[in-house]
């Protein structure tokens, strides 16, 4: 089997497993009862609160924790942007490597490098601050280290370094299968959590009052 075919196969199997596992997770979630709020005379509209809850994610000044720790917000944004770019890169490299022009390659390199630094800061904080250590399990560290390795090998593949590219695709495939089990799964759940928060708070007239 040719390396390119193997590369496609691992990527496709990894992606298929990821989708399957997340579907299973969502089935488990939707089999749970949703607590209904029947309190009369709500003070606000659920959809107003939902919009407010999601807008807050891109408006750090609206939430005290991100307003006070704005550097953490920047770090969060850069880190996640890099992860998203890196996942996209794995598909581009596998299926449309010619689409990577030099300017795009340079931009991707900058984004991934910034994300790697942001992730490094996160790892440092988790390991060295007492209030972060007490809330960290091995999964918290491994998930972060995995992402850092994924970003690092992504950078190597952008430099067209052969062993780095192979490592990148091995890690990408493992990463795809690993994430539904690890804390990385949060991105499947947070839209629901934001919705529940927004809906409940808006009904009570606390947010989303336009």
Nearer to another protein, 53 or 155 (CB): 53
Shortest Cβ 162–another protein spacing (Å): 33
Nearer to another protein, 106 or 183 (CB): 183
Q: Count Cβ atoms below 10 Å from residue 102 Cβ, excluding itself.
A: 7
Q: Count Cβ atoms below 10 Å from residue 159 Cβ, excluding itself.
A: 10
Shortest Cβ 154–another protein spacing (Å): 21
Nearer to another protein, 76 or 109 (CB): 76
Shortest Cβ 175–another protein spacing (Å): 15
What is the binding site for another protein (CB under 8 A)?
28-30, 32-41, 43-44, 53, 56-57, 63-66, 68-69, 72, 76, 125-126, 129-140, 142, 181-183, 185-186, 188-190, 192-198, 201, 204-207
Q: Which long-range contacts (CB under 8 A, 24 or more apart) does 198-201 make?
A: 198/46, 198/49, 198/50, 198/51, 198/52, 198/53, 198/54, 199/46, 199/49, 199/50, 200/37, 200/49, 201/49, 201/52, 201/53
Residues 6 or more apart whose Cβ sits within 8 Å of residue 202: 42, 44, 45, 46, 47, 48, 49, 50, 52, 208, 209
Nearer to another protein, 34 or 101 (CB): 34
Nearer to another protein, 4 or 29 (CB): 29
Shortest Cβ 20–another protein spacing (Å): 13
Nearer to another protein, 57 or 92 (CB): 57
Shortest Cβ 165–another protein spacing (Å): 30
Shortest Cβ 101–another protein spacing (Å): 35
d(CA 21, CA 190): 17
Q: Are 80 and 144 contacting, i.e. CB atoms less than 8 angstroms apart?
A: no
């Amino acid at each position: 089997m040719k390396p390119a075919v193997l590369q496609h196969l691992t990527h496709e199997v990894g992606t298929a497993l990821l989708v399957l596992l997340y579907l299973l997770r969502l089935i488990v979630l939707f089999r749970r009862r949703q607590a209904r709020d029947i309190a009369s005379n709500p003070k606000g509209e659920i959809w107003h609160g939902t919009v407010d809850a999601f807008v807050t994610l891109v408006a750090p000044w609206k939430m005290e924790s991100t307003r006070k720790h704005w550097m953490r917000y920047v770090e969060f944004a850069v880190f996640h942007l890099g992860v998203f770019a890196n996942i996209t890169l794995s598909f581009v490299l596998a299926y449309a490597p010619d689409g990577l022009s030099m300017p795009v390659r340079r931009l991707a390199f900058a984004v991934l490098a910034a994300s790697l630094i942001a992730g490094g800061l996160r790892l440092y904080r988790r390991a060295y601050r007492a209030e972060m250590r007490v809330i960290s399990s091995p999964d918290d560290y491994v998930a972060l280290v995995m992402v850092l390795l994924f970003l690092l090998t992504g950078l190597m593949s952008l430099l067209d370094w052969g062993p780095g590219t192979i490592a990148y695709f091995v890690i990408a495939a493992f990463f795809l299968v690993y994430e539904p089990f690890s804390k990385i799964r949060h991105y499947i759940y947070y839209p629901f959590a934001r919705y529940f928060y927004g809906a409940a708070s808006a009904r009570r007239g606390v947010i989303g009052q336009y």
